[in-house]
Amino acid sequence: MLPQVLINEEVNPSAMGRKSLRELSQKGNASVDAATRASEFQLQEEQRELTYALISLFIKSGLFVIAIASFLNLGIASHQRINRNNEITSVLKLETEKLTRLHLRFDSLFSIGGKGRLMEEQDQWIAPKSRRIIWR
């Protein structure tokens, strides 16, 4: 209703007295100033909220990148550990089989007839009256 009064006064200023026109224009300026200030405060508040939202977005995206990098490092380390474990397991299996064969051979040497089996396994026969020469 106030803007309508201001329009009427501006169109027909002679209808009102000088004093009342000033009062109305000051009241109009005061109400426009209050509305302008309110809109400025609202814009500042929206800008502040946008700034805070952007800051929180950057922080969250940074944490997300750190989490992804940590999971990648954890996956790589786990993969390397599994590969090392597989290598050690295969080497252990080979060494266990070798130990079993050598253990059986050792046991066969100290059983009955072991000396004969040892002599049969030897490819080189040394004559009884010959000497071995070891070069150093």
Does residue 84 lie in a domain region? yes
Does residue 30 lie in a domain region? yes
Report pTM: 0.48
Does residue 128 lie in a domain region? no
Does residue 74 lie in a domain region? yes
Does residue 54 lie in a domain region? yes
Does residue 117 lie in a domain region? no
Highest mean pLDDT among 32-36, 79-83, 108-112: 79-83
Q: What is the pLDDT of residues 95-133, one digit of tens each?
A: 999 999 999 888 887 888 777 777 777 656 667 777 767
Does residue 127 lie in a domain region? no
Residues 16, 41 contacting (CB under 8 angstroms): no
Report the pLDDT averaged over residues 9-37: 59
Q: Model confidence at 35, in pLDDT bands (50, 70, 90)?
A: confident
In angstroms, the CA 123 to CA 126 distance is 10
Q: How many domains would you assign to the chain?
A: 1
In angstroms, the CA 124 to CA 122 distance is 6
Report the pLDDT averaged over residues 26-44: 79
Residue-range definition of the domain harbouring residue 95: 2-109
Q: Model confidence at 29, in pLDDT bands (50, 70, 90)?
A: low
In angstroms, the CA 116 to CA 21 distance is 137
Residue type, 79: H
